[in-house]
């Protein structure tokens, strides 16, 4: 007879048999719980609090306290609370989510952007006087219109005679667009590709084995363009000055090439055998990466130079790959909903347990929302500003080592509990920390609905005057780093503007589609910032709607994941084009209600607080 395991705060109930491992049950149920040590009991990321019932740990029955679910097995009915529920909270640098956690349905047959065929090319004879190229195309099963570069032809005669005709043919393309990228003598060659998310702030890259899709390494770094402007608008303005477009292009190219270099050096791989690349980025980043003038993205009527890019070559782009490697860029919906969003939506479409209305939110330096119906999609962008990335906030920083990413305040007990990424001394507060901090300040009555400090409690922590008035979490003297960690009214106003931008965009898209919040069956959050996001805090401040927690799911860097899938699946590349064409773009600024909605959202949680009951 199965037992019932109730899981909070997800209001989820699953059945289990006696002896079943608790962590496995949670994972099987799709609960996004981190288990950093892989279930070996050496970390605490799978912790849960026993609310009711009991379980067995190392032969002992346990009925209270916080347990490591990986160590516990079922022996009775049980009610658990995941201690610090954050979909895929914690973890290492940047926001790459292990793919297997996403439970993706593969998009069709495995068909990488470039493939390796090992063929045996017939030796020529007086009867078999077909040319070298003719015998090669026949052996590789290519059609008559197969293309190749001159350099392939130049090396052809020698290569196919070197190893008794055994030849490695590296090919790209499907259907009528076959192209021989490269040739080698021999039986076997490893073949790699890269998938890359070109973010405004961060560039992340997978090096992928194209034989089986295995991710060999994942590396990421700040986009070298950061020093030329934090957001896309400042980058576009910068690009408009003489010679600066080329400079921006060089900067991001250097970032990408350095990441490639780092990957290949780590694994002792030759650049020549990286023979395919897929990039996903917002429309401006893609333009700057290709050296395309982004000026018209910013000027009415906001038109990009290109949305559906032809397949280019690594040589054209100056990428440190095999020069003939095809480069596929994820197509954009429009100027402010780019290839990164198309890629993200493609991931959502491949997630299991779909159906109904789904919402996709990518929060980075920009915020983009796509609502997915059964037969339609609508997307919009909102300028959240870089507050969630920690920029423009006095103590803001990225979710990197030393960032405060969790705050608990008990005003009555005058207690503040901070969690710092990497467990180091605090250097600043990251986006998710800021949201939790704001929620905690509000919950404790330290700030009012307008985000202003009210002197009701914890008054000795409030210092300064006017908009510089601030709440000090850590005095410089208390902090080993010697830094004061605080949040000012100005910071709070910034943050409230950012959350208001997102929430009002959400409200508008619902209004346009005549859909209620409750109809949203699944709310997918993507982007680096989402990684450490405390959903409840985000709800508390009115950034996310008050849906049951289990409807939220964090899907990591879905731009990178979508690019990765496009590297591996022909059907995914087709899907991306289909998605880019199918998303109806909603220009918020052209909708008269937008300002009203935005203004209404500039309160904690909202002017209409019933929305968050």
The residue ranges that bind its own copies (CB under 8 A) are 124-126, 128-134, 144-151, 153-154, 156-158, 176-177, 290-293, 295-296, 300-312, 316-317, 332, 334-335, 577, 585, 587, 590
- Token digits of residue 319: 């990428």
CA 26 to chain CA mean position, Å: 23
Q: How far is the CB of 504 from its own copies (least distance, A)?
A: 20
Give least dist CB 316 to its own copies, A: 4
Give the CB-side neighbour count of residue 574, counting CA atoms within 13 A. 11
- Strands (DSSP E) found in 223-318: 274-281, 312-313
CB of 297 to its own copies, least distance (A): 10
Q: Which is nearer to its own copies, 96 or 183 (CB)?
A: 183
304-323 residues labelled b (16+ CB within 10 A) or e (exposed): bbebebeebbbeebebbbbb
Selection from 73, 69, 16 nearest residue 40 by Cα: 69
By beta-carbon proximity to its own copies, the closer residue of 177 and 475 is 177
When the beta carbons of 148 and 446 are compared against its own copies, the nearer one is 148
Minimum distance from residue 400 beta carbon to its own copies (Å)? 34
Strands 367-372 and 377-382: antiparallel
Task: Look up residue 276 and give its two tokens.
Answer: 């395919």
Residue whose CB is less far from its own copies, 277 or 317: 317
Give the span between the Cα atoms of 182 and 155, in whole angstroms: 9
Q: Which residues pair with 463 in a beta bridge?
A: 470
Minimum CB distance to its own copies, residue 235 (Å): 16
φ, ψ (nearest 5 deg) of residue 167:
-140, 140
Q: Which residue has the tokens 């290492």?
A: 92
Q: Which residues pair with 351 in a beta bridge?
A: 104
Shortest separation between residue 195's beta carbon and its own copies, angstroms = 20
Q: What are phi and psi of 530, to 5 degrees?
A: -65, -20
Is 599 in a helix, a strand, or coil?
A: helix
Q: Residue 202 forms beta bridges with which residues?
A: 222
Helix (H) or strand (E) holding 78: strand 72-82
Q: Name the minimum Å distance from CB 180 to its own copies.
A: 9
In the complex, the smallest distance separating the C-beta of residue 112 from its own copies, rounded to whole angstroms, is 19
Please name which of 347, 322, 55, 339 lies closest in space to residue 170, comparing C-alpha atoms: 322
Minimum CB separation of residue 100 from its own copies in Å reads 34
CB-nearer residue toward its own copies: 180 or 194: 180
How many CB atoms are located within 10 Å of the residue 480 CB?
A: 9
Of 95 and 335, the one with the shorter C-beta distance to its own copies is 335
Rounded to the nearest whole angstrom, what is the least distance from the CB of residue 103 to its own copies in the complex?
Answer: 32
Closer to its own copies by Cβ: residue 124 or 234: 124
Length of the chain as a residue count: 613
**Cα(486)–Cα(505) distance, integer angstroms:** 29
Residue closer to its own copies by CB (options 108, 157) is 157
Cβ proximity to its own copies, 50 vs 253, nearer residue: 253
Measured from the CB atom, the residue of 536 and 587 that comes closer to its own copies is 587
Nearer to its own copies, 467 or 589 (CB): 589
Which is closer to its own copies, CB of 77 or CB of 587?
Answer: 587
Q: How far is the CB of 611 from its own copies (least distance, A)?
A: 31
Closest CA to 442 of 598, 605, 609: 605
**Which tokens sit at 78?**
């049980």
* Shortest Å, Cβ 574 to its own copies: 11
- End-to-end Cα, the chain, rounded Å: 38
The H-assigned helical ranges of 65-208 are 132-139, 150-162
Please state, as a whole number, how many other Cβ atoms lie within 10 Å of the Cβ of residue 534: 22
Beta strands in 333-414 (DSSP E): 357-363, 367-372, 377-382, 403-410
What is the distance between the alpha carbons of residues 552 and 534, in angstroms, rounded to a whole number? 11
């Amino acid at each position: 007879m199965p037992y019932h395991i109730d899981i909070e705060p997800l209001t989820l109930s699953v059945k289990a048999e006696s002896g079943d491992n608790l962590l496995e049950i949670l994972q099987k149920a799709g609960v996004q719980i981190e288990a950093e040590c892989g279930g070996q009991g050496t970390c605490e990321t799978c912790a849960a609090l026993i609310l009711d019932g009991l379980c067995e740990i190392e032969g002992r029955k346990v009925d209270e306290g916080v347990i490591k679910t990986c160590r516990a097995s079922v022996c009775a009915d049980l009610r658990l609370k995941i201690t610090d529920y954050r979909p895929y909270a914690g973890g290492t640098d940047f926001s790459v989510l292990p793919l297997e956690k996403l439970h993706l349905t593969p998009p069709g047959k495995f068909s990488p952007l470039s493939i390796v065929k090992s063929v045996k090319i017939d030796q020529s004879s007086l009867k078999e006087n077909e040319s070298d190229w003719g015998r090669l195309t026949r052996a590789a099963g290519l059609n008559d219109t197969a293309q190749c570069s001159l350099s392939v032809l130049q090396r052809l005669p020698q290569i196919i005679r070197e190893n008794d005709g055994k030849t490695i043919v590296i090919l790209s393309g499907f259907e009528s667009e076959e192209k021989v990228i490269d040739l080698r003598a021999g039986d076997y060659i490893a073949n790699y590709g890269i998938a890359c998310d070109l973010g405004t702030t961060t560039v992340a890259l997978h090096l992928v084995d194209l034989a089986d899709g295995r991710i060999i390494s994942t590396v990421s770094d700040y986009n070298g363009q950061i020093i030329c402007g934090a957001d896309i608008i400042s980058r576009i303005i910068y690009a408009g000055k003489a010679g600066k477009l080329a400079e921006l292009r060089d900067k991001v190219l250097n970032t990408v090439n350095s990441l490639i270099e780092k990957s290949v050096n780590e694994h002792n791989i030759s650049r020549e055998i990286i023979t395919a690349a897929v990039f996903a980025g917002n429309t401006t980043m893609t333009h700057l990466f290709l050296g395309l003038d982004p000026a018209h993205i910013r000027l009415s009527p906001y038109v990009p130079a290109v949305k559906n890019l032809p397949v280019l070559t690594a040589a054209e782009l100056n990428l440190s790959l095999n020069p003939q490697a095809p480069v596929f860029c994820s197509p954009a919906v429009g100027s402010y909903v780019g290839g990164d969003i198309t890629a993200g939506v493609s991931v959502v479409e491949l997630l299991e347990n779909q159906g109904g209305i789904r919402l996709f939110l990518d929060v980075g330096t920009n915020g983009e929302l796509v609502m997915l119906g059964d037969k339609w999609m609508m997307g919009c962008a909102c300028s959240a500003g870089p507050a969630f990335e920690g920029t423009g906030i006095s103590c803001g920083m990225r979710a990197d080592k030393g960032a405060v990413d969790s705050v608990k305040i008990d005003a009555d007990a005058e207690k503040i509990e901070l969690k710092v990424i990497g467990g180091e001394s605090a250097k600043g507060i990251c986006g998710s920390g800021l949201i939790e901090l704001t929620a905690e300040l509000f919950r404790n009555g330290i700030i009012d609905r307008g985000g202003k400090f009210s002197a009701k409690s914890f008054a000795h922590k409030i210092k300064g005057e006017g908009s510089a008035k601030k709440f000090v979490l850590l005095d410089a003297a208390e902090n080993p780093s010697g830094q004061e960690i605080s949040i000012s009214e100005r910071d709070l106003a910034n943050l409230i503007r950012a959350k208001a931008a997102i929430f009002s965009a959400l409200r508008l898209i619902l209004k346009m589609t005549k859909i209620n919040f409750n109809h949203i069956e699944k709310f997918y959050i993507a982007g680096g910032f989402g990684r450490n996001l405390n959903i409840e805090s985000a709800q508390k401040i009115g950034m996310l709607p008050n849906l049951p927690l289990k409807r939220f799911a964090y899907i990591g860097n879905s731009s990178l994941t979508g690019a990765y899938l496009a590297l591996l699946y022909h059907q995914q590349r087709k899907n991306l084009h289909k998605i880019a064409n199918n998303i109806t773009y909603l220009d918020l600024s052209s909708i008269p209600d937008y300002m009203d909605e935005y203004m209404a959202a500039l309160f904690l949680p909202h002017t209409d607080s019933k929305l968050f009951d």
